[in-house]
C-alpha cells in the first residue's frame, strides 16, 4: 500500500512539474526585458482585442523589440501570423503610453462600451507585472494599438513593394502562351469571336 501511495505522489509531482514547466516555457518564449539597449525600455506586453463582428487580434511585444501578430483563427491556435521588429522610436512610444496610462499603478478600465474588450498583460524591467481588462476604449491602449498597427502596415507595405511589378509585356507573353489550340497570333481575334 505504501509503495502505491508513493508511486502516485511521484507521478502526480512529475505531471504537475511538467505542466508548470510548459506554462513557463510558453511565456518565456517571448517575455524578456531585452537588456540595457532595449527599444521598449525593458517592457513586454500582450494585447488581446476581441471586437465586434468576431474581430480577434493579438500583439505580443518584448523588450528586444520582437513583435508577434496573430489575427482571427491564428489567435485561438496560439500561433503568430507573422513576426517582426519594433525600432527604438516605436518602442519608446509604447513605453511612454504605458507610463502615461499608469498600467503598473492604476491600469485603465475603459469607457465601458461593448464595442471591444481588451485583455492586457505587461511586464517591466523592474519585475512588475500588470494584468487587466479594458472594456471599450482607453487612451493608452488605443495609442499602443495604433503604434503596433503602424508597424504592421509598414511591414505589409514593404512586403508589397518586394512583389514583382505588373508588366504589360509579361502579360502579353502569357496571353500568347495560352492561346487556344490551332490559333496563331494573327487569327486569334477570329478564334475569340472577334474580327470580321
**Per-residue pLDDT tens over the stretch 107-162:** 999 999 989 999 999 999 999 999 999 999 999 999 999 999 999 886 665 555 67
Say yes or no to pLDDT of 190 above 60.
Answer: no
Q: Is residue 18 in some structural domain? A: no
In a domain, 63, yes or no: yes
Q: Could you tell me if residue 68 is inside a domain?
A: yes
Q: Is 126 part of any domain?
A: yes
Percent of the chain exceeding pLDDT 90 equals 48
| pLDDT band at residue 52 under the 50/70/90 scheme | confident
Backbone dihedral angles phi then psi of residue 117, each to the nearest 5 degrees: -130, 130
Domain of residue 141, residue span: 29-162
Residue 178: helix, strand or coil by DSSP? coil
Q: Is residue 192 part of a domain?
A: no
Mean pLDDT (the chain) is 79
Query: To which H or E segment does residue 18 belong?
Result: helix 2-28
Beta bridge pairs of residue 159: none
- Reduced to 3 states (helix: H, G, I; strand: E, B; else coil), residue 141 is helix
The whole-model pTM stands at 0.67
Domain count, the chain: 1
Is there a domain that residue 176 lies in? no
For 95-104, 149-158, 183-192, which range has the lowest pLDDT when averaged over its residues? 183-192
Does residue 22 belong to any structural domain of this protein? no
Q: Looking at the domain assignment, is residue 183 inside a domain?
A: no
**CATH number of the structural domain spanning residue 104:** 3.30.1560
Amino acid at each position: 500500500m505504501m509503495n502505491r501511495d508513493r508511486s502516485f505522489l511521484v507521478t502526480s509531482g512529475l505531471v504537475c512539474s511538467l505542466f508548470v514547466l510548459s506554462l513557463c516555457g510558453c511565456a518565456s518564449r517571448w517575455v524578456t526585458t531585452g537588456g540595457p539597449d532595449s527599444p521598449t525600455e525593458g517592457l513586454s506586453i500582450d494585447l488581446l482585442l476581441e471586437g465586434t463582428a468576431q474581430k480577434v487580434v493579438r500583439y505580443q511585444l518584448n523588450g528586444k523589440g520582437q513583435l508577434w501578430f496573430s489575427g482571427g483563427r491564428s489567435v485561438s491556435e496560439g500561433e503568430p501570423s507573422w513576426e517582426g521588429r519594433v525600432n527604438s522610436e516605436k518602442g519608446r512610444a509604447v513605453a511612454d503610453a504605458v507610463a502615461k496610462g499608469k498600467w503598473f499603478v492604476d491600469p485603465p478600465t475603459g469607457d465601458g462600451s461593448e464595442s471591444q474588450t481588451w485583455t492586457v498583460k505587461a511586464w517591466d524591467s523592474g519585475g512588475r507585472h500588470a494584468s487587466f481588462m479594458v472594456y471599450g476604449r482607453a487612451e493608452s491602449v488605443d495609442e499602443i494599438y495604433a503604434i503596433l498597427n503602424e508597424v504592421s502596415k509598414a511591414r505589409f507595405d514593404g512586403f508589397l513593394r518586394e512583389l514583382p511589378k505588373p508588366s504589360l509585356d509579361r502579360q502579353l507573353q502569357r496571353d500568347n502562351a495560352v492561346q487556344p489550340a490551332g490559333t496563331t497570333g494573327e487569327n486569334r481575334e477570329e478564334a475569340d469571336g472577334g474580327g470580321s
